[in-house]
Amino acid sequence: MPSRDPIPAQKNEQVEVNSDDEADPELVELLRQHLGLGGGQAKNAPPETRVLEGAQYVFDNAIDVAVSREFTKEAAETIWRMMQKKEYSTQTWSEHELHPQTKDESTVDFIFAMDLLNFSFFSDEEEEPKRFCVEYRGKCWTGYWSLVAILRRALDEDIPITTPDFWVDEDKCTEELLKHVFRSATDEEIPMFKERVQCLREAGEVLCGEFGGSFANCVDSANFSAAGLVNILTENFSCFRDEAIFHGKRVRLYKRAQILVADLWACFNGENFGEFHDIDKITMFADYRIPQMLHQLNCIRYAPKLDSHIRDRKPIEPGSNWEIELRGTSIWCVELIKREIERRHPEVKMGGKKASAKSLENGGEATEDTEAKAVAETGQRKAYGINAILIDFFLYDTMKSLEAENNESIPHHRTRSIWY
């Protein structure tokens, strides 16, 4: 396993970031506030998650995970073209068979429960028929989709699995009933069952005690700010506080908190409960599938020891340098991909708007008339907006397709954690 001690690292050339020898800006800011020196972030400044800032720091100090600028630029163009061809947008989210089709407060509850439990689905079984899976509507579902199937199946059985009041009622929401809810079609049980129960109990207590028993109240309190909602989640729910110490600095990764906001945005197509004026502050969601896909594209590369470790399917400890490098560098790599796409195709830059189409002809805000005219005159397709969320969704779906075809160039890294 890699050393957990800070090691002086050779810097990547693309970014300049504070070195380990410099004072932690968070501590400096706290000291300035304590001494009344001011000069920090204004009290009414827009919310920031600081995830991207941490990812940049990890990238800059990473030793065993590197980004290829050349392949990242190539991948950016490939990703853009494929996303345009598939007309990839927020609408794509609802096209998945198991995702909810209704657009009301019950859907908000469903998405909260879904991303509250959205972690650690990979199996320890070598033989595929023995791996954990969920049978629902005549199909067997694995990975993330097994969780969505679990929730849909429970609701079909009149078990209120998406209701916070139910989670805290241990007379009704018993461990025995929850084992039935999470039951597998094989002998292998769902990984981290006890941790999932703990997440349900804790979240239920917070929602019922602080937010009137409804996650919709959390959404309302964010005032249409994606970053604000992420901060509400991470400040009030310890099971969303996905942070780590890397080379002496605290970095925020916030995978599940961010994907919860992104799922709301995508499900509601940027409207109603999904309306966020700063949605582009959300980064990619650092899990084990996107690093795998970025490696498949040659965008990120591993040092030989780490490469062998992953190929041998050996576990990587949560919070270790290797794990944080894999996750943080992947966030930064997707950010570079996004910036490259926006540099080459400025018409797809979303700037906080929902993923509506824009004219390829002039890069301006499109109307139905201008889109129709552009397509008629140029024969080109309309361009769909792109941000880190949609790139992540696209890379995840692509990686799952490659897995189904047995076309993975490297296994995903294996870390058991509630964070992803």
Q: Which residues are tagged catalytic?
A: 287
Which ranges of 20-68 does DSSP label H, i.e. alpha helix?
Answer: 25-34, 51-61
Is there a contact between 340 and 67 (Cβ–Cβ < 8 Å)? no
**Measured between alpha carbons, how far is residue 152 from residues 141, 170, 282, 305 in Å?**
12, 21, 27, 42
Tokens 């849909």 correspond to 152
Is there a contact between 69 and 262 (Cβ–Cβ < 8 Å)? no
- DSSP category for residue 238: G
Strand partners for 136: 139
d(CA 130, CA 121): 14
**Measured between alpha carbons, how far is residue 121 from residues 132, 146, 190, 312, 415 in Å?**
8, 8, 7, 19, 10
Task: For residue 251, give every residue at least 6 positions away whose Cβ sits within 8 Å of its Cβ, in sequence order, or none.
Answer: 54, 55, 57, 58, 243, 244, 245, 324, 328
Task: For residue 201, give every residue at least 6 positions away whose Cβ sits within 8 Å of its Cβ, in sequence order, or none.
Answer: 167, 168, 170
Task: For residue 158, give every residue at least 6 positions away whose Cβ sits within 8 Å of its Cβ, in sequence order, or none.
Answer: none
d(CA 353, CA 338): 16
Q: What are phi and psi of 186, to 5 degrees?
A: -125, 180
317 token code pair: 């400890």
d(CA 113, CA 297): 32
d(CA 80, CA 85): 9
How many CB atoms within 10 Å of residue 3?
10
Helix (H) or strand (E) holding 178: helix 175-181
